[in-house]
Amino acid sequence: MAKFQVRGLIVVSIGMALLVVGSSIFDDSYNMVESAMSGKKYLIQSKTILQGQSINSTITWNQLAEHSILIVNSTPLSNLVKLQVTEPGGGTFEKENKNGYVYHIIGKNTQNQGNYSITVSNEGTGPANINLILGEDPYLSGKCSSYNETSCYAIPSAIGLVIAGMLALIVGSLIAVNDFRKKKKPTQSS
């Protein structure tokens, strides 16, 4: 009977591992997206933001590709830099940097025609030098032509691992519950 109790936990553990690996690959892939993106243009280049200050920029709807990505690179890496994007419809997205890098994906939507307001804030302990870059997402657009072709498959692979992990969590949970019920039945009939 112990064999039946363990198999659900093994499947759940595999699911958790797949989720963690898939999420890590996804984050690492987007850390390298700048070198593979097309139509790259600097909205802000080599600007210093003092501690507690922010800098603003605007993107018009016409500047966007079908799948655009907005990237902030900052140095030193230890400073906390936040990216805030306000869409024409009023939706706001805020992200913090991870090792001097933060990104936001913007889909070109005909319902959101207008200006996108961008704010980059320095909430770190000293000045931060930033670059704000806009370009076409090579993964979502299907136009990835990186010198390292394996990076073009990183995002679909990561998504596949995350989906497989979620399915394994569900299946493992069902197996564990089923095994637990099977174990309970003989003890109740005694």
Q: Domain holding 89: CATH number?
A: 2.60.120.380
Is 0.85 surpassed by the pTM of this model? Answer: no
- The boundaries of the domain holding residue 128 are 39-140
The number of residues making up the chain comes to: 190
How many separate domains does the chain show?
1
Whether 115 maps to a domain, the answer reads yes
Whether 66 maps to a domain, the answer reads yes
Residue type, 31: N
d(CA 158, CA 90): 31
| pLDDT band at residue 36 using 50, 70 and 90 as cut-offs | low
**Phi, psi at 14, each rounded to 5°:** -65, -45
**Phi, psi at 80, each rounded to 5°:** -85, 115
Whether 23 maps to a domain, the answer reads no
End-to-end Cα distance, the chain: 16
| pLDDT band at residue 32 using 50, 70 and 90 as cut-offs | low
- To which residue do tokens 């139509």 refer? 39
Most confident of 5-9, 74-78, 96-100, 121-125: 121-125
| pLDDT score for 97 | 78
| pLDDT band at residue 168 using 50, 70 and 90 as cut-offs | very high
d(CA 128, CA 22): 31
Please state the separation of Cα 113 from the chain's center in Å: 24
Whether 153 maps to a domain, the answer reads no
Whether 122 maps to a domain, the answer reads yes
Whether 106 maps to a domain, the answer reads yes
Closest CA relative to residue 148, chosen from 28, 4, 63, 11: 28
Whether 170 maps to a domain, the answer reads no
Whether 131 maps to a domain, the answer reads yes
- For 123, the token pair is 């909430």
Rounded to the nearest 5 percent, the helix, strand and coil shares of the chain are 45, 35, 20
| pLDDT band at residue 90 using 50, 70 and 90 as cut-offs | confident
